């Protein structure tokens, strides 16, 4: 007898999410906070399984997600961390809070693997040299992340982004924002209200919006912030090394590529 499905698959919808579904999910999470995914389909009427709801939230709708091109620094961090941790995408993502594990995994599989393979004959000795090389190659490229390399699903991708921006607008409006969140969004602060408004107006322009409980898609961020707090607490219990060290190492842009040999890499590995 095989493992039972995570949810009753009869009548479960699959495939890409629609804007309407996103709004329903976002409004529900806004009210109840993320978690208890099992009850989400039941309570919202979404014909999606709980896993699908969780995935959609964590990978696309969650506030603070950065979409689009990876910067050379992010790229370097991913390469460093992949060398240290292996394909532990969730662990790697925990050091790139604006990126999702899925995004990092996709980026690794589609870009970095290839890039490292191409560089391998020239420099097989150290990961960090690879980082340095790849960083240099990309250094002159734009750091902007507004447009993605592929325009796949462009129409709806922008809608998703708008939902995310809307949520960021909520987060900004909350006095409980963490310093980290504030720092991460520093660049977005300029014109933030405009972005918020644009996102909001864009969402309002969707068809079929009459069915959405807009009174629920409202001001309070209490539940979400509570969850965020508890997530911060639970993160302190995970197996990751102290962020203070990694911050020093990873977040110091100038240090990228300065670790010259594998011995140093191994020293770093030993803390894990």
Tokens of 219: 């001001």
Q: Does 125 bind DNA (CB under 7 A)?
A: no
Return d(Cα 228, Cα 222) in angstroms, integer: 10
Return d(Cα 37, Cα 222) in angstroms, integer: 18
Q: Which is nearer to DNA, 58 or 174 (CB)?
A: 58
Q: Does 152 bind DNA (CB under 7 A)?
A: yes
Return d(Cα 153, Cα 137) in angstroms, integer: 28
Q: Which is nearer to DNA, 35 or 241 (CB)?
A: 35
| Nearest distance, CB of residue 13 and DNA, angstroms | 7
Q: Does 59 bind DNA (CB under 7 A)?
A: yes
Of how many residues is the chain composed? 272
Q: Does 62 bind DNA (CB under 7 A)?
A: no
| Nearest distance, CB of residue 181 and DNA, angstroms | 19
Q: Does 262 bind DNA (CB under 7 A)?
A: no
Return d(Cα 249, Cα 128) in angstroms, integer: 12
Return d(Cα 207, Cα 103) in angstroms, integer: 29
Q: Which is nearer to DNA, 33 or 192 (CB)?
A: 33
Q: Which is nearer to DNA, 36 or 125 (CB)?
A: 36
| Nearest distance, CB of residue 94 and DNA, angstroms | 8
Number of H helices, E strands in the chain: 15, 0
Q: Does 3 bind DNA (CB under 7 A)?
A: yes
Return d(Cα 167, Cα 246) in angstroms, integer: 29
Among 24, 29, 56, 256, binds DNA (CB under 7 A): 56
Q: Does 103 bind DNA (CB under 7 A)?
A: yes
Return d(Cα 116, Cα 108) in angstroms, integer: 10
- Give residue for tokens 């050091």: 95
> Binding residues for DNA, how many (CB under 7 A)?
47
Return d(Cα 198, Cα 209) in angstroms, integer: 16
Q: Could you list the residues that contact DNA (CB under 7 A)?
A: 2-4, 6, 13-17, 35-38, 48, 50-52, 54-56, 58-60, 67, 87-91, 101-103, 105-107, 109-111, 114, 148-154, 157
């Amino acid at each position: 007898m095989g493992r039972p499905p995570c949810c009753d698959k009869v009548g479960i919808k699959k495939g890409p999410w629609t804007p309407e579904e996103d709004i329903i999910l976002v409004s529900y999470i806004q009210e109840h906070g993320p978690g208890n995914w099992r009850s989400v389909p039941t309570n919202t009427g979404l014909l999606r399984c709980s896993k699908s709801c969780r995935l959609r939230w964590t990978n696309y709708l969650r506030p603070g997600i950065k979409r689009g091109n990876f910067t050379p620094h992010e790229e370097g961090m991913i390469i460093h961390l992949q060398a240290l941790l292996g394909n532990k995408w969730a662990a790697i993502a925990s050091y790139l809070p604006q990126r999702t594990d899925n995004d990092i995994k996709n980026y690794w599989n589609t870009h970095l693997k290839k890039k490292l393979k191409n560089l391998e004959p020239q420099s097989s000795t150290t990961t960090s040299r690879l980082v340095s090389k790849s960083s240099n190659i990309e250094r002159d490229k734009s750091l902007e992340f507004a447009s993605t390399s592929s325009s796949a699903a462009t129409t709806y991708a922008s809608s998703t982004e708008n939902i995310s921006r809307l949520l960021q607008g909520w987060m900004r409006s909350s006095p409980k924002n963490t310093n980290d969140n504030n720092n991460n969004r520093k660049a977005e602060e300029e014109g933030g209200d405009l972005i918020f408004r644009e996102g909001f107006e864009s969402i309002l322009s969707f068809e079929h919006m009459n069915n959405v409980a807009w009174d629920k898609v409202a001001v309070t961020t209490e539940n979400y912030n509570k969850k965020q707090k508890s997530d911060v607490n639970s993160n302190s219990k995970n197996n990751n090394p102290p962020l203070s060290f990694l911050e020093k190492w990873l977040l110091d842009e100038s240090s990228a590529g300065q670790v010259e040999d594998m011995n140093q890499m191994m020293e770093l590995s030993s803390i894990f």
